[in-house]
Chain A
Amino acid sequence: MRGIININPEIRDAILESGGDDAIKCYSCGRCMAACPWNLIDDLDYTTYRFCQRIKLGAIVDSEAKEDIAADTDEVFRCIGCDSCRHECPRGVNLSDVLRAVRRILVDYDSYPAELKGVISRLYSSGNPLGESSAKRADWAKDLGIPHFDGTQEFVYFPCCLPAYDARLKLVAEATASLLTKAGISFGIIGEEEFCCGEAVRRVGAEKVFQSAVNNNTRVFQKFNVKNVITTSPHCFKTFQTDYPAFSDIQIMHVVQVLHQCLADGKLKPERPFKKKVVYHDPCTLGRQMGIYDQPRELLQSIPELNLVEVPVFNREFSVCCGAGAMGLWRDWPQDQRLVKIRTEQIFATGADVLCVACPYCLQMFEENFKSMNVDIEVMDISEILFSSLGQ
């Protein structure tokens, strides 16, 4: 209990100016707290509905005591931007944007979780959160005969950082490229000039680093006169549409949209049976935030003998986040405070053989957690399942 608070209009105004003006709409009904996946964890109360009120009074992260500041800051950086709260909010408050406004001020003053510093630094200097060399960004494609985009192809395929570099996720990029080739889609890749989309750094408040990503990708896309983009990651898919002003006349498509269209046009014909029980996990960004629920399911249902099941209740717009958003992938939460464990239990209860995802973050998060929890469920990207079902 903190006692009587001191109203500080200056803090309030600074947060509102940093993009937190949605806070004004909140009336503390608490539906956000009921919707927030953190509150599915035993003994953890994430009182999300208090944030907006405290911001309106300028009484957030306002203590002078070291322990109180640390506790408040940890709470501000806990939100992983899954948008469950906004979906439930009667006034549509975008709480993750409100918290991002607070984070922007704190990040400028070096007051954010230490485990994020290296990631942000690597992204800024290398163009990807792994710190890999940009010269290796197209290595995943070198044996596939994929051309460098030169304006003669219709689409740019933007694999995102993890599928470009991570050994497991490269398989997703390969499967996607192979599917696009098989469907006769004209596409190329940008390769080493590509830069991380920056969605995650924006969510944690590192706005200057995000702007460097925007500037870099905008320059490169304009240089090659890119008009159509296919992304593997829902995060690139979303941020290119909502946070890149210069991309307003570029068509950005997530790969499931393209594959769904190919299926409808008869360009892809899944023929080989996939005799497994598959559960589809709706990624927060693709589902709740971009409204894509049916296309991935229809793609899976087009595959012979695939038995598609749902996580009861917590599916589609009620899907529970894997915890990787807003750089959650790089956070070091205590073992008993991991959203991925909650979601793993829900998925395990379906009795599925395969977990199908459509987001590189989800794939990495689940695969690592399944290993640590000894869960015998295979994690596959939707492009991998679809590719395995194509005839020769």
Chain B
Amino acid sequence: MFTFIVRRIIQTIPVLIGVTILTFSMMHLIPGDPAQIMAGESASPDQIELMRDRLGLNDPLPVQYFDYIRGVVTGDLGNSIRSGRAVSNEVFLRLRPTIELAVYSTILSVFIGLIAGVFAAVRRGGLADSFVMIVALFGLSLPNFWLGLMLIQYLAIGIDIFGINTGWFAASGWGTWQQQVLPVLTLGTAGAAIIARMTRSSMLEVIDQDYIRTARAKGVKERVVIYRHALKNAMIPVVTVVGLQFGTLLGGAVLTESVFAINGLGRLMVDSIRARDFPIVQGGVLIFALLFVFVNIIVDVLYKFLNKRIDLN
């Protein structure tokens, strides 16, 4: 297992190099002169030249790249144009709500997705199965900003039904549970739908396997057959989906944070893009990529742990 984890980490090195090349190139791919942008619209040619020198833009590209890498490794991601503060500080300050949002949403979508998927699979072809699958299709098709706005409208602002106001939750911010429910629901819905569908099809495949028949022939209770013998096998492909889903989730966080006015990394990035604060955007993308790689290592380890058939070496 240890060798496997080490190998898996080594394998991420090319990915990390790719990611840094990509974020590094962002500076050069944006339209216009980075030095001009950094120095501001009204800067004089001298100021721009000074900026160019400070940014090392006069050096050959490989040198610039290695300077950048050195910065990344030492935690120096440059300074924000707007605030002038270190990018690493700005980004890390905002990281916590985003990670919380992503993790809670993942937990919610796995929880709901698994239960709904198993529920539907066990009732294959029945009304309950169709119902769950239709709801999942809705969940999958709803744009997440729209869902967020609807939730705010009906569960934060609230409407009166039989004299009860449904405005139970907060419409913005992050911290109290009232503030967290709606964003997590918004972000988790699509994932729950995908996981439900995946779990269902995976369960259906597993339920037809010979070893399930063996378990029944042993006199195992149906509930135990489903949750002990079938689900553990059905989880194997689901885990992979959860890992991939995490990437989508980070993307979704950008929108969700905007809708719910959460001071997270996603919102920071949207604001920075609008303000052309490229060092922040660059740092944010890098952090997102690192998070994604990290989560997928965890998923792989989990996958191996579940799937005994794969030789760890």
- Do A and B come from the same complex? no
Q: A: which residues have CB within 8 A of B?
A: none
